[in-house]
Amino acid sequence: MKLASPEQAEAAFYSALDKADLAAMMAVWAEDEDIVCIHPGGPRLIGMDAVRESWRRIFAPGPHMGFQLLDVRVHGGRMLSVHNLYERITIGGQPKAHLALATNVYLLTPSGWRMLMHHASPLPPDTPGPDMPIGTLH
């Protein structure tokens, strides 16, 4: 899969999350042992094996999370693009959504744009979140 832009890579990442598709998720990541993933409340995971295993565990119950991206801020260059955003996460179709802050870093590789780092943190209680959706990836 050749991802022609950081935005395509981001769309593929959240589509894989929505579908709990491990193969699609790992196709978004750079083939680099220095990739980093930090799930909300979790430790820093480094390398393909650790990142793959973390997503395998998250996806084990099947599709159960939905994501809406809010207030996306992009700082891009020719080879690297950093995206900071809010994730509105719904779990198991429940009406209550959870907010997380995320930073996604994409790198231009010979195979197209790939994720180098994903870091998500829960929004602290009583912190005002974003008001208007920027985009929905469902």
Q: Minimal CA–CA distance to 51: which of 68, 31, 70, 69?
A: 31
DSSP 63: S
| pTM beyond 0.75, yes or no | yes
Q: What is the dihedral of CA 111, 115, 116, 121, to 10 degrees?
A: 180
Q: Say what the pLDDT of residue 54 is.
A: 97
Q: Minimal CA–CA distance to 96: which of 130, 65, 131, 60?
A: 65
H or E stretch including 56? helix 48-59
- pLDDT tens by residue, 29-84: 999 999 999 999 999 999 999 999 999 999 998 888 888 899 999 999 999 999 99
- pLDDT tens by residue, 77-121: 999 999 999 999 888 877 778 889 999 999 999 999 999 999 999
Residue 10 C-alpha from the chain's centroid: 7
Q: Say what the pLDDT of residue 127 is.
A: 72
The hierarchical CATH code for the domain 6-108 is 3.10.450.50
Domain boundaries, the chain: 6-108
